[in-house]
Amino acid sequence: MEYRLLSAIKSPADVKKLDESELPELAAEIRDQMIHTVSVSGGHLSSNLGVVELTIALHRVFRSPEDKIIWDVGHQCYAHKMLTGRFDRFDTLRAPDGISGFTRRYESEHDIFSGGHSSVALSAAYGIAEANKLKKNKNYTIAVVGDGAFTGGMVYEALNNAGHAGTGTKLIVILNDNEMSISKNVGALAKYFATIRANPRYFRLKAKTENVLNHIPLIGRKLAKILFRLKTSLKNRIYKSTMFEDMGFRYIGPIDGHSIPHLVDALRGAVEANYPVILHINTVKGKGYELAEQNPDRFHGISAFNIETGEKKLSAKSFSDAFGEFMCAAAEKDKRICAVTAAMSLGTGLENFGKVFPQRFFDVGIAEQHAVTFAAGLARGGMLPVVAVYSTFLQRAYDQIIHDCAMQQLKIVLAVDRAGFVGDDGESHHGLFDPAYLNSIPDITVYAPATFREMEHSFYEAFYKTEGSVAVRYPRGVEPQLPEEYTYTGEDWQCTGDPADIAIVTYGRCYAEALEARRRLAEEGVRVMVVKLTRIKPVPKEAVQFAMQAERIFFFEEAQRYGGIGETFADKLFQYGYRGFYRNTGIQGQFAAQNTVQGLLKFYQLDAESMVQAIKESEET
């Protein structure tokens, strides 16, 4: 597909060369490329469609990478990537060895800070701005933060800190508001006042006036303060002072986030301020693609889809779907069950729960730490809370799990979605750390089911048979195909096959790979038993003792090896006097790259073929 303007842009400097009349065409080309690429690769569509004009305006006004643009979460960066020399590779989005769906420092000098988790850009940007100030570097630092990120506590910690920076700190925070205004402005005069404040001449005049007054002997400074109070009083009569100004920022807005001329004027006005600035813009999530505008949440993060209908190309039932169905059924029977999510009701499968049980459904925003402690409060009040959260985001609440849940032996249930490899979202989203860090916490139980039925049983055990806090972790995607010989015993562990000299021990998604490896080896006359752990913490003592019958034991773990369950299993083995061969395979101190799940299983030697190879190699040594 040919794009007249976009194909000619090799760097942000080329954006500045375009005539202003060409910019709407550029925006249309960017949107078209986004929609077609994401329809094939999947990705974050609504959020990126909403910031196209903003991205163009940023690269018209600032000089990247000297001026540093930081995108919060990073899933708003697609247009930024196209305008910073990556258009010719944009069709590799989220593919193995392709460009990332998030900002990545190793990918481009224009990706200033790697994004993946929400609410961090302002803290990082303030740090860079202060570093520039210390080095007498006059470049600007710009943080683009979605209004959703303002539900995360780090934003307010950073606002509180950066608001005291004062003159000379060249920090601009763009609040991308695609929902509603934070402070409601009413009336024509308020809109006029916002327009005036966004004009660069406003700031130039303001700075010159303050400078002149401050140099008048004796009365100059006093007069400047009086005029400032009068101005503030008048402004507050026109519209309410924002919390940002109360925290020390200069506030501009709201501005139409789809008008490039208005955005350019506002950004230039922010440059003239010479103070930390909040630029508040209003955008439409999904702008330019009607289906996404009508259903922005559905197209926020989406797999490959049909452009004409918006329907997903693959729609098989996932673990998240099965979890949502189970929660509705369980809540119908037990009035204590509550669901808590951190702005991920759709992704975690709780959308229907929220409709059926609205009084027992709590979306706390992007605030995982608060979600866990809030759930602890629900538990202390006699409820049975389930916190549905992606594994990668649960990391943020590690301290709360320890202090507010496990240490107090409160019954909260963590539904840990996206456990293990997640594929094309890449290193920031893989759920590879929770087995190790949960394994380190006393008085907490962890289940890792391999099937929908095992997941439901694990939650039942968590609700009614297990003391204290419990985590149930399950992978992204569909239920694995298991051979007919698989039978679910309902126990914390089980063995497939008769006792043998070779044992594969594993849990979760790797169980399907282990059964396939067993089948292949059986065809070659090699007998293997597969010990599957459904409860991985504490490791069932009986499973360890049973595995000791084997002369060679191979543990496979779709998680970080160091501190993980495989190490715990080995420790138990040798405590019980095991003297045979033991090999533990997992991710060894690396951040896994983006790839398909099957590609990652193969790369880290966790697929059936690698298991077969490992066992054969052990016979040769």
Predicted local confidence at residue 211, as pLDDT = 59
What residue has token string 């679910």?
488
| Rounded-to-integer distance, Cα 109 and Cα 103, Å | 10
| Rounded-to-integer distance, Cα 204 and Cα 199, Å | 9
| Rounded-to-integer distance, Cα 144 and Cα 257, Å | 12
Percent of the chain with pLDDT strictly greater than 70:
90
| Rounded-to-integer distance, Cα 439 and Cα 559, Å | 12
Structure tokens at 405: 């849940």
Q: Give every strand in the sheet of 384-390, ordered side by side.
A: 361-363, 337-341, 384-390, 413-417, 469-473, 444-447, 535-537
Where does CATH 3.40.50.920 sit in the chain?
493-620
Predicted local confidence at residue 180, as pLDDT = 38
C-alpha of 471 from chain center: 20
Q: Which fold has domain 6-183+242-290?
A: Rossmann fold (3.40.50)
DSSP 8-state symbol, 477: S
| Rounded-to-integer distance, Cα 103 and Cα 13, Å | 20
Q: What is the CA radius of gyration of the chain?
A: 28
Structure tokens at 252: 């501009």
Where does CATH 3.40.50.970 sit in the chain?
6-183+242-290, 319-473
- State pLDDT tens for residues 140-165: 999 999 888 888 889 999 999 998 88
- State pLDDT tens for residues 379-388: 999 999 999 9
Q: Which fold has domain 319-473?
A: Rossmann fold (3.40.50)
| Rounded-to-integer distance, Cα 509 and Cα 607, Å | 10
Query: Which residues of the chain fall below pLDDT 50?
Result: 180-190, 192-193, 196-197, 234, 236-239
| Rounded-to-integer distance, Cα 10 and Cα 13, Å | 8
Q: Which residues are known to be catalytic?
A: 285, 368, 396
Residue 425 amino acid letter? D
Structure tokens at 551: 């002369």
CATH pick for 493-620 out of 3.30.160.60, 3.40.190.10, 3.40.50.920, 3.40.50.300:
3.40.50.920
Task: Mention every residue, 6+ apart, whose C-beta is less than 8 A from residue 607.
Answer: 513, 598, 601
| Rounded-to-integer distance, Cα 436 and Cα 24, Å | 50
Nearest to 165 by CA among 67, 276, 278, 277: 276
Alpha-carbon dihedral sign for residues 321, 325, 326, 330: positive
Predicted local confidence at residue 438, as pLDDT = 98
State if pTM tops 0.95: no
